[in-house]
Structure 1
């Protein structure tokens, strides 16, 4: 995971294919492509950490997922943000570790959002789960936004079927229930460490659990504002219409007390 704050024209051109370039602190990374066919390149070039690089190419095996049904989601308080995903990208390339290059292959989930900086504030937090099921090959993107000052919550989500049906989920269509918690030794914040995920209309009753408890990041957006941010890989178990299912998930959690 990485981020950079800056004027968008300096980082990303306004034409297709998308083309992104940046370098900082002995790091170089590049991104090119469109419509799920992407090329990622990243490398560490500093004197003390050279010999590490990643070069990946992707091809979509499912079409684009337009969240909210149109590619825009309502995050409350007048905030509407663009959001789409390619939840299944067949991926291959090379990984270089310590100067030794390895051939790698796998599957990626690609998200793109814009016009969403208004929700990155001290008064808003979220639990955000992106779930890939192994069989059936279906996906769930579920998020609950929390207003940490008023206690109000807003649910948004998408269900993407094996036949590529896109269903927008809101309100009581799904339920995310924390089952256990992990407390960060660095920030002292308490994060959910296991979730019970229920989507009754689609027959899903799941448990999502981190592969490693400590996947906390400290993102400093401004001199006076550091956001502690849990973002990491998880495993999925549970049932679909009463039958066992497994899968993978990626989870984001922000602004926990």
Structure 2
């Protein structure tokens, strides 16, 4: 186990070293140029300055609150609808087609309509986050519910299991791994969609901070915003996977080990 963490640390160190060399020497590679890309030391100084001023925590808190609200709604609705569609033919016929029409619409396309629909920009950004997280959760749940072995369902019914017992004892455990996968993917897309919305209609948040840095040509702060987005997305997705592993001990024990 120790060598795996050492390999990960080495990989991260090599990436930072490559970044330092490219940025410090202002290399121009033709199609890609690093003349204006700040070096890691400049980015670290920008992080220290931002945290010292206190604004960094306010940007961070605003984004986390929006993601938490939109993602929670998406998780509840996505899992509920996914189980219903996956296990009910009439629900699939009635609901899946309009949802599939809405699914390919990117988050950016929803922003003007969200601004018109909701009385505040805060609600519109939560809606964008909700929209981005909903469909990965929904579709993975549908696939997980559909993939349950019909023999398990028939056996449970033969033993006298009612509708709720069947859901609790067969459907949820069987669809659980797909649900966790959808929740993890949905967390990543919720951050992506939120940052896009904040760049356009936010006043606080990581996306707004990153876009403001770009308009002011404050290049180190742009990198700071990007790193924040990546680290928060990584941490939240890992948290979802960890909680899923705790909720599904039978899958963790029988699944592939890493």
Superposition TM-score tier, normalisation by shorter sequence? under 0.3
Could you say which structure has the greater relative contact order, defined with CA pairs below 8 angstroms and 6 or more residues apart?
A: 2
Tell me the TM-score normalized by structure 2. 0.24
Q: Which has the larger Rg? A: 2
Tell me the TM-score normalized by structure 1. 0.25
More strand, by proportion = 1
More helix, by proportion = 2
